[in-house]
Structure 1
Amino acid sequence: MRLLNALRRDNRQLLAKLAVIVALMFGFGYALVPLYKAICEALGINVLSLAERQVALADKGVANGNGQVDYSREITVEFDTNARGPWDFKPAVRHMTVHPGELSQVMYEFRNKQDRTMAAQAIPSYAPMQASAHFNKLECFCFNEYTLKPGESRQWPVVFVIDPKLPKDVKTITLSYTFFEVAGKGAVKLSQSPKGTAL
């Protein structure tokens, strides 16, 4: 009888420990989404979907680029591209002048110059660093993987709004993309559309 009671007590303790572990795992999983968004926002990585980004911009008073346009300021946006591999990657224009709060778009062209199918993706960066929190992309090909056949060319848009809260001393922003091949995925067929969504 004493052995049976000890066994029941051990089972209850094990059940309590497992319940605590399950609760901790659930809490950690629940906290991952806002934690991930906070980290990406701090690093200037756009991971929000188009709908989430539009809601975020609306909260800032920059809904669809037609509210709170600051016509008294002009920002020069420079477009820089880097290709890690034998292919062409370039913007339609090297720079443009925009007003904070104004909806703007630039097209990028990518061409696979190789004689084989390849998969690649682009990672953005900003200069100066403080501009990254104010450079809101509504549409972007960044972070999506694309597969192109030999000689195939594609065009992708980047639609963006610069937050009017950008510090006054920032007159020029450089948006730089590094396009690189995704290892081991060269034989995959093209499945993504040319228009990516900001992340």
Structure 2
Amino acid sequence: MRDVAAENQRILKRLLVGVVAMFGFGFLLVPMYEKICEVTGINNILQPDRIVNTQVDTSRTVMVEFDANLHGLPWSFKPRETVMRVHPGELATVVYEVANTRDVPVTGQAIPSYGPQHAGRYFLKMECFCFAQQQLDAGEVREMPVAFVIDPSLPRDVTTITLSYTFFEVEGRQAQLGRQGDDAS
């Protein structure tokens, strides 16, 4: 009987170690993914793109559609222009308007997506509010530009690109800022 109880305790300890290891792996997965993307240069949405070819292809025009979405964020968010026609290689800028409708500061992070999906590698951003978290004070209204170039190597069959941003609230940001302010005092 004692041997069964001892064996059960050993199995329980092994299972607990496995649970802790899985939790730790899950916790470290996001930073590991971000580091791998940073090192390889893949899917790095938090830095400006490098522009290599600066030649403007005036022989064609690409229609760029702009979309704005919120995911559980108490803001209003929209592009000033919903459609723009640009030549590949031409520097263009679109301005998004955002307003915090809460009576407290709120921090958000924008994530871009593209349609068609493969067009994202040809949509090069030099300036974008998506590179950093955005904190808006209570009732604050802000204009946020996106400066971009469409790479002239964009396949000719792609005549329309949709750039869609979704803003997500960054939880716990206010508490973190408050603690940093307390430490500085």
TM-score, normalising length: structure 2: 0.70
Task: Select the residue among 122, 125, 134 that pairs with 1:146.
Answer: 134
Q: CA deviation at 1:38?
A: 6.7
Secondary structure at the aligned position of 1:183 is classed as coil
Matches within 5 A, 1:93-172: 93-172=81-160
Contact preservation (8 Å) 1:69, 1:102: yes
- Once the two structures are superposed, residues 106-157 of structure 1 have per-residue CA deviations (whole angstroms, 9 ceiling, x without a partner) of 0111100011111111011111011011100011110411211111011111
Structure 1 runs not aligned, ≥5 long? 1-31, 63-67, 190-199
2:62 is the counterpart of 1:75 = yes
Distance 1:33 1:109, change over 3 A: closer
Quote the residue 1:46 is aligned against. Answer: 45
With over 3 angstroms needed to count, the CA separation of the structure-2 counterparts of 1:172 and 1:39, relative to structure 1, is farther
Number of residue pairs aligned between Structure 1 and Structure 2: 144
Calculate percent identity across the aligned residue pairs: 49
CA contact (8 A) 2:90 2:149 kept: yes
Residues 106 and 137, structure 2, Cα contact 8 Å, conserved in 1: yes
The 3 A distance-change label for structure 1 pair 46 and 113 is same
What secondary structure does 1:142 align onto? helix
In the alignment, the residues of structure 1 paired with residue 83 and residue 40 of structure 2 have an alpha-carbon distance, to the nearest angstrom, of 29
- What's the RMSD between the two structures over aligned residues? 2.3
Q: CA separation of 1:184/1:37 partners in 2, compared to 1, >3 Å: closer, same or farther?
A: closer
Q: Is the contact made by 2:124 and 2:148 (CA closer than 8 Å) also made in structure 1? A: yes
For the residues of structure 2 that align with 1:168 and 1:157, how far apart are their CA atoms? Answer: 27
Question: What residue in structure 2 maps to residue 36 of structure 1?
Answer: 37
* TM-score, with structure 1 as normaliser: 0.66
Shift of 1:48: 3.5
Runs of 5+ consecutive residues of structure 2 not aligned to the other structure: 1-32, 179-185
- Once the two structures are overlaid, the 10-residue window that deviates more, 148-157 or 167-176, is 148-157
Deviation of the 1:88 alpha carbon? 0.4
* 1:57 equivalenced with 2:51 (yes/no): yes
